[in-house]
Structure 1
Amino acid sequence: MVDASSSNSSKDRYRRAAAALLRSELAQRGLTYKALAERLNERRPGAETETTIKLKLSRGSFQAAFLFECLDAIGADTVVVPVRTLLQDGL
């Protein structure tokens, strides 16, 4: 049987890694959360605000679809995902 706290801890690592990946991609492009919100709203009006993006990234609570939507909005064609580094350091 899997310990629930162990399972949650493992999920938290993945959540932090996903958020770190998106933060890293934004930083590489010199973009802010506000700029990301503006780009997302150009595609889907009312989609996000700077605040909702901050909250999603601070919690790491977003779906893969949101990650891909953000990557598309910022013009990311190729993303290198340093999985081990992200999981260890959380960037």
Structure 2
Amino acid sequence: MSYWNDKAKRLLKSELVRRGISNADLANLLEQIGIEETKSSIDSKICRGTFSASFFLQCLTVIGCEKIEIVEYENQLSIAAEPQAEYNLKK
């Protein structure tokens, strides 16, 4: 997997984990804004790390992520979003 695919995958996955949102939950949230994705298609996209910027932004929007910060330390990816922030889960 390329470095950039891995970076995108880890960023999206970390935001989902922070909010306790599963890929099935994500599919339901995306459906609410008219995006048709199945849990399986989301699993595949995230596993490969190959998804469009549009998909990435759609996911971040529906999970309520308004700000992300990407920091690298000695070739190890450390990702944090909205540090010290309270998350509002969308139902």
TM-score range, shorter chain: 0.7 to 0.9
Does the Cα contact within 8 Å between 2:70 and 2:78 map onto a contact in 1?
no
- Please state which structure has a larger fraction of its residues in helix: 1
Which of 68, 73, 80 is matched with 1:79 structurally? Answer: 68
Bigger relative contact order (CA 8 A; separation at least 6)? 1
Shift, 1:49, TM fit: 0.8
Q: Does residue 31 of structure 2 align to residue 41 of structure 1? A: yes
Provide the C-alpha distance between the structure 2 equivalents of 1:79 and 1:40, rounded to a whole number of angstroms.
Answer: 19
Secondary structure at 1:61's aligned position in 2?
coil
Count of residues in Structure 1 that have an aligned counterpart in Structure 2: 78
Q: Does residue 44 of structure 2 align to residue 59 of structure 1? A: no
Does the Cα contact within 8 Å between 1:17 and 1:90 map onto a contact in 2?
no
CA RMSD of aligned residues (A): 2.0
Moved over 2 A (4+): 87-91
Does the Cα contact within 8 Å between 2:26 and 2:63 map onto a contact in 1?
yes
Provide the C-alpha distance between the structure 1 equivalents of 2:78 and 2:24, rounded to a whole number of angstroms.
Answer: 22
Sequence identity of aligned pairs in percent? 32
Provide the C-alpha distance between the structure 2 equivalents of 1:78 and 1:64, rounded to a whole number of angstroms.
Answer: 15
Shift, 1:90, TM fit: 8.1
Residue number in structure 1 paired with 2:58: 69
- Please state which structure has a larger fraction of its residues in strand: 2
Larger Rg, first or second structure (1 or 2): 1
Does the Cα contact within 8 Å between 1:34 and 1:50 map onto a contact in 2?
yes
